[in-house]
Structures are given as C-alpha cells and as structure tokens.
C-alpha cells in the first residue's frame, strides 16, 4: 500500500498508463466504471503531486465511491414516493416494476435526481474558469463544485445507478454537455418536442432544437462514447493547466491557444511583459529571441499539462493531433529532445493537410535551444 505522497504519485501514474493501454483500441468498450476509475486516478495523481493528500493512507489509496450508491438509493426512494403520490390508491394495486415506473414517469425521475444532487447534496457549477479543483473528481465530490464535463459524468453515473441510462453529447470539447435517455421509448418532452438534460444548469431540461441552434449540431444528436468523454475530461484539465502556466484568461474565447503559432512566436495576441529592476516578477510568457517559454513560477502547471498530453496521446492512439499537442507540451517544458522525437513521428506519419515546414521549423528551434 502506498505510504507517502511520492509513493501515491508513482502508483497513480503507473495505474493510469496501465488502465489507458488496456482500454486503447477502437474495438474496446468503455464502461462507467472505466470512466470513473480514470477520473479518480487522475484526481489522485494531481493531488499527490501537490503534496496535499495528508496522512490518511486509506484515503490516499482507495478513495471509494460509495456515496454515489448512497445517492442512487435516496433517488429511488424519492422517485417511488412521487409515483405513489401521483397514482394514489392505484399505486398499491399496481403490479408495476421499478422499470415500468421509470418508463412511465421519466421526468419525475429526473426531478428526483436533481433534488438529491443539486438541492440536498449541493452540487453546482464552478464560479469561474481556471479552477483546477473543478476538474478533479475527488475534489468535486468533496466540494460539490464542478466543471461541465465532471458534473455530467457524475450525473450520468448516478442516473444509471438510479435506473435511467443516458447518452451524452460533449460540445466544444467538454465545455458543455447535454444528455438524454438511451431508451428511445423514453421521451423527456411533450407534444412532439424533444428535451435534453443540462447537468451544468442543475439538471434542467433544455429544448434539443435550441441546443442545435446554439451549437450548430444536427438533431437527432449523435451521442459520444465514454471514451470520448474520457478524452474531453483530460483535454479540459490540460487546457486549464495551460492557461495557468501562461497566465492567460481561461475563458475559451480569450485563452492563448496551445499551438504552433505560440511556440514559434507568431501569435499576435500575446503581449510580452518585461522584468523590472524593482523586483517585480518577470513575464509568464517571455520572449527569448523568437522563442516563447513558460516562466519558472508556473512551470509546475506546464508539467501537469504535459502529463495530461501524455495520457491523451495514449488514449487517442498517437493521432497526428495528439502527437503535435504532446510535442508542444514537451517544448514548453523544455524537454527539447523529447519534442524533437515527437515531431519526428509527425513528419514520418504526416497528414498532407498539415504544414510540415512549420513542424520542421519548430524542430530546428528545439535543436538550437539544446545548444544554448
């Protein structure tokens, strides 16, 4: 059993890699348990790397999820009380099963889930972008404050335990998620209009047509797989650490992108600060000639960004996009040898649509930096 923060960190890292490698491959199906395990291990790794696990070894090594079972028990009780109130005397005479009531009163089950999660347990949306704890499952379960993607995962798994299996659609790479019943015979709507669940708005029902218009997606929605949800969870964590590393606004429309333009010093919206003689801190993104680098003060966030990129590279089976993302993180972490090797993989398996000349320019800059 792991004893220290470093032991826990090493165990979590190796467990994550083992888990991802076991679940990689297009034919491998993910379960709710697989998704929960990944989220919890990543949360454990993040907390251990901060040295903030405390002295509770059992807490460090297990972090059980029995409270989710507890939620579902309370939801089922509340839902059946609702059904009894609706049917009155007929309820005691009916021979209906629990699943029959779910099919008959799905919106009431949704109301029961919302009552337990948001009213009784106090789950709510994060107050602002950029709070890493909102992307760490253990801390979300502790505090109740979560990102859209993690609130959606909690909601989906609690709903499944409560008898309602849900599809999910992750929009804008996990910045917004909507859900609806997997069973086509169960409809959340009336008079022909289809509604979906918004877990980030306390489980309120939203018009599917309205979501379609806002996000420019076709109805009926095509659900994401649990693997897709895992990828977006890691990506949101990565981007949060990236924004903290470069100290840019974390809002999606304002954030500095993690891309070749920034690495090559060609991103026009980056303003360069200077280091003053009076002791004020220097730039968080500093310009060394043509090279953008992350400051020492925020390098720990860049290291966590790289850790998430490594996981995504495994999960996405070394796609061009994931390899370039990995190389960029290695570059900003000043791991220039590794960045060169990753960029070699891009060049060897290049996509004709990619600007290979810019990949080669970044490689040459890495080589030059190794000599300085």
Rounded mean pLDDT of 130-138?
91
> Residue holding tokens 């000599």?
371
At residue 204, what are phi and psi to the nearest 5 degrees? -65, 155
Tell me, what's the pLDDT at 303?
Answer: 96
Which secondary-structure segment (H or E) carries 198? strand 193-198
Architecture of the 251-272+292-370 domain: Alpha Horseshoe (1.25)
Which secondary-structure segment (H or E) carries 294? strand 291-294
pLDDT tens for 333-352 read: 999 999 999 999 999 887 66
Rounded mean pLDDT of 258-276?
68
In this model, does residue 128 exceed pLDDT 90?
no
How many helices (H) and strands (E) in the chain? Answer: 16, 9
DSSP per residue over 131-190, as a string? -GGGG-HHHHHHH-EE-HHHHHHHHHHHHHHTT--EEEEEETTTTEEEEEESSTT--SEE
In this model, does residue 304 exceed pLDDT 90?
yes
Question: Which residues, 6 or more positions from 137, have their beta carbon under 8 angstroms from its beta carbon?
Answer: 36, 39, 40, 42, 43, 150, 153, 154
Q: Are 144 and 118 in contact (CB under 8 A)?
A: no
% the chain with pLDDT above 70: 85
Domain with CATH 1.25.40 in the chain: 251-272+292-370
The tally of CA atoms less than 13 A away on the side-chain side of residue 180 is 22
In this model, does residue 99 exceed pLDDT 50?
yes
């Amino acid at each position: 059993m792991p004893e220290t923060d470093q032991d826990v960190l090493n165990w979590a890292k190796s467990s994550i890699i083992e888990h991802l490698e076991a679940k990689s491959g297009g034919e491998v199906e993910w379960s709710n348990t697989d998704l929960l395990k990944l989220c919890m291990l990543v949360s454990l790794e993040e907390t251990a790397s901060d040295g903030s696990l405390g002295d509770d070894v059992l807490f460090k090594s297990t972090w059980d999820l029995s409270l989710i079972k507890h939620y579902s028990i309370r939801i089922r009780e509340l839902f059946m009380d609702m059904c009894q109130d609706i049917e009155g005397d007929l309820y005691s005479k009916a021979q209906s099963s629990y699943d029959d009531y779910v099919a008959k009163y799905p919106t009431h089950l949704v109301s029961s889930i919302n009552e337990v999660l948001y009213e009784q347990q106090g789950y709510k949306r994060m107050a602002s972008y950029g709070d890493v704890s909102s992307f760490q499952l253990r801390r979300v379960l502790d505090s109740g404050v979560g990102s859209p993607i993690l609130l959606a995962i909690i909601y989906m798994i609690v709903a499944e335990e409560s008898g309602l299996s849900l599809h999910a659609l992750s929009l804008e790479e996990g910045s917004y998620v909507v859900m609806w019943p997997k069973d086509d015979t169960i409809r959340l709507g009336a008079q022909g209009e289809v509604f979906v669940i918004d877990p980030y708005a306390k489980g309120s029902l939203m018009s599917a047509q309205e979501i379609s218009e806002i996000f420019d997606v076709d109805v009926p929605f095509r659900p994401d797989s649990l693997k897709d949800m895992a990828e977006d969870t890691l990506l949101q964590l990565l981007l949060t650490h990236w924004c903290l590393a470069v100290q840019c606004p974390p809002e999606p429309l304002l954030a500095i992108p993690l891309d070749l333009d920034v690495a090559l010093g060609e991103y026009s919206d980056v303003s360069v600060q200077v280091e003053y003689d009076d002791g004020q801190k220097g730039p968080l993104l500093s310009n060394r000639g043509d090279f953008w680098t992350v400051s020492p003060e925020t390098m720990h966030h860049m290291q966590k960004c790289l850790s998430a990129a490594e996981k995504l590279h495994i999960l996405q089976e070394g796609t061009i996009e994931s390899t370039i993302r990995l190389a960029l993180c290695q570059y900003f972490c000043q791991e220039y040898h590794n960045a060169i090797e990753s960029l070699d993989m891009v060049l060897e398996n290049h996509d004709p649509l990619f600007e290979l000349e810019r990949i080669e320019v970044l490689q040459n800059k890495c080589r030059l930096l190794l000599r300085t």
